[in-house]
Amino acid sequence: MADDRVRLGREAARLAQRALDARGGLPPSRRYGTPAGLAQARRIARGEPVDAARTRAFLARFRPIYLREYRKGHRTPETSKAVGAWWLWGGSPAWAKLR
């Protein structure tokens, strides 16, 4: 199971690319994403297969944080680092495919 790789689809790729693009326009103090998250986003945006277990683990751990921010009205990476990080990993389309 650890070697399972999956393509997350066009919608996840679109969100990952949008998060990368938005991040580039933010001042350093508002940027989100670790080096691992940025590399993951680039793979997703290119439509490459990603490690399903690793992606599922991140999304499962990070989903409550994302939902809390979403409920506060933060819906884009420009308004929330948590939303940006969630989108880097493919967001809700990736979660729906992997859970």
Number of domains in the chain: 1
pTM given for the model: 0.92
Mean pLDDT of the residues in the chain: 94
Per-residue model confidence as pLDDT tens digits over 1-48? 456 999 999 999 999 999 999 999 999 999 999 999 999 999 999 999
- Tell me the DSSP string of the chain: -TT-EE---HHHHHHHHHHHHHHHTS-GGG----HHHHHHHHHHHTT--EEHHHHHHHHHHHHHHHHHHHHTT--STTT-HHHHHHHHTTHHHHHHHH-
Q: Which domain holds residue 71?
A: 5-98
Q: Is the pLDDT of residue 68 over 90?
A: yes
